[in-house]
Structure 1
Amino acid sequence: MPGLYFDQLSVGQLFRHVLRRTVTETDNVWFSAITHNPSLLHLDEDYCREQTEFGRRIVNSAFTLALMVGISVGDTTLGTAIANLGWDEVRFPKPLFHGDTVRVETEVAELRESRSRPNAGIVTFVHRAYNQHGDLVASCRRTGLQLKSPADAAEA
């Protein structure tokens, strides 16, 4: 499914992404291993059961962030993004656990014309991820450089 061009977006536009994902132990261990993150919170069940308030391993927050943004791509930026410019206000208000199912919504927060690229605009998305209970488990503001539709870019 293709993403949208800059001129097809509007401030306040809300995407409730249909794609959902149940997070597995393999996802968490694999992601932690390939990113060289040896935190006991992600890898040691006994430690978490005995010495943390969670009582079990929690999912690596960098994986949660990547999954949240990744789920949004098909509806928003697939084939229309030039570059990701940054992530701000990244938050993880509740932990994500193995077996949790993530759903994501994305809101267009800001739009502005690019001053240096007439064929593009800058868009700020707010992404929010929820578990199967409706608990907010992650959020962030993501700013990107987005192509304008070919017709709109030609007029610029």
Structure 2
Amino acid sequence: MAGLYFEEFQVGQVFKHPIRRTVTEADNVFFTALTHNPAALHLDEEYCREHTEFGTRIVNSAFTLGLMVGISVGDTTLGTTVANLGWDEVRFPQPLFHGDTVRVESEVVDLRDSKSRPANGITTFEHRAFNQKNALVATCKRSALMLRKPEA
């Protein structure tokens, strides 16, 4: 199992995830269409060329958020999470574009016992996504209900 148990995390621990992903036009268009988001910012190149400061389509921020968290799973919570409890302080300081390559790092910012589920603990991560130019493109805090280590 790749994920860590609650007791294996430490506040301040940083994961520099080895998986990177180049975002394609297809990723953006499929995700945007599948989620019924009609925003021209994601779908209409001519509109963006004529009416936006970016001059081209930008990647759907919900896709960026999902990709950032998804990249983190293999090193942190794969097989050891009970539930994702929430995302807080989600920010997109710079847009992501087709062809950008995303890398992610995650930091453990809080650990606490679950009051309602003594067999679990709550780990809070701060995820940070960067493009190939090392520009920060997304951040969020994610709380996860984690399994405790099984007793031997």
Same fold judged by TM-score > 0.5?
yes
Q: Give the gaps of 5 or more residues in structure 1.
A: none
TM-score by length of 1: 0.96
In the alignment, is residue 102 of structure 1 matched against residue 102 of structure 2?
yes
User: Corresponding residue for 2:142?
Assistant: 142
3-state SS, counterpart of residue 97 of structure 1: coil
3-state SS, counterpart of residue 108 of structure 2: strand
In the alignment, is residue 117 of structure 1 matched against residue 113 of structure 2?
no
Q: By how many angstroms is 1:145 displaced?
A: 0.4
Q: Give the distance between the partners of 2:116 and 2:28, measured in 1 at CA.
A: 40
For 2:137, the aligned partner's letter is V
Q: Give the distance between the partners of 1:16 and 1:119, measured in 2 at CA.
A: 28
For 2:93, the aligned partner's letter is P
TM-score by length of 2: 0.98
For 2:24, the aligned partner's letter is T
Q: Give the distance between the partners of 1:148 and 1:54, measured in 2 at CA.
A: 46
Residue correspondence of structure 1 range 1-156 to structure 2 within 5 A: 2-151=2-151
Q: Give the distance between the partners of 2:7 and 2:119, measured in 1 at CA.
A: 10
Q: By how many angstroms is 1:115 displaced?
A: 1.2
Q: By how many angstroms is 1:133 displaced?
A: 0.1
Q: Give the gaps of 5 or more residues in structure 2.
A: none
3-state SS, counterpart of residue 83 of structure 2: strand
CA RMSD, Structure 1 to Structure 2 (Å): 0.9
Deviation string 1:51-103 (CA, Å, 9 cap, x unpaired) is 10000000000000000000000000000000000000000000000000000
3-state SS, counterpart of residue 19 of structure 2: coil
3-state SS, counterpart of residue 138 of structure 1: strand
Deviation string 1:13-63 (CA, Å, 9 cap, x unpaired) is 000000000000000000000000010000000000111000000000000
Percent identity over the alignment is 72
Q: Once superposed, which parts of structure 1, at least 4 consecutive aligned residues long, lie more than 6 Å away?
A: none
